Amino acid sequence: MVVAASVDLPVEAEKMRVDERLSFEVAHSLKLEDFAERYGAYFHAQRGFLHATGFVVESNGTVAHAVYATGSIGRLEPRATLRAIDYLISQPG
């Protein structure tokens, strides 16, 4: 399952989903500070935004990979993420 989370309002989150042709849902209206504290995302208080944070989570809830951006670079790249997921699926147990 793929899920995206955003602090955007519902209309903005849906526009992004359509514009980016995402085939999965985008959770919206997250509270900046709460999300940053709960998941360890970097919150730029002076500018009022979160830096990108991404996770690959195994079916048992274990975080297999995490990427925390502290600036304009540092994202889960689609091809590398798919390779990581394929590898996790191929592992016994």
**What is the structure's pLDDT at 44?**
84
Structure tokens at 52: 């990108």
One-letter amino acid at 12 equals E
User: 16-60: per-residue pLDDT in tens?
Assistant: 999 988 888 899 998 888 888 888 888 888 888 888 888 888 888
In this structure, is residue 81 part of a structural domain?
yes
Q: What is the pLDDT of residue 14?
A: 94
State if pTM tops 0.85. no
Locate the DSSP E strands across 6-70: 26-27, 43-44, 49-50, 53-57, 63-68
For residues 53 and 79, state if they share a domain: yes
Domain range enclosing 22: 1-30
Angle at the Cα of 48 from the Cα atoms of 45 and 50, rounded to 5 degrees:
90
Q: Do 12 and 47 sit in the same domain of this protein? A: no
The helix or strand, by DSSP H or E, that contains position 80, with its residue range, turns out to be helix 78-90
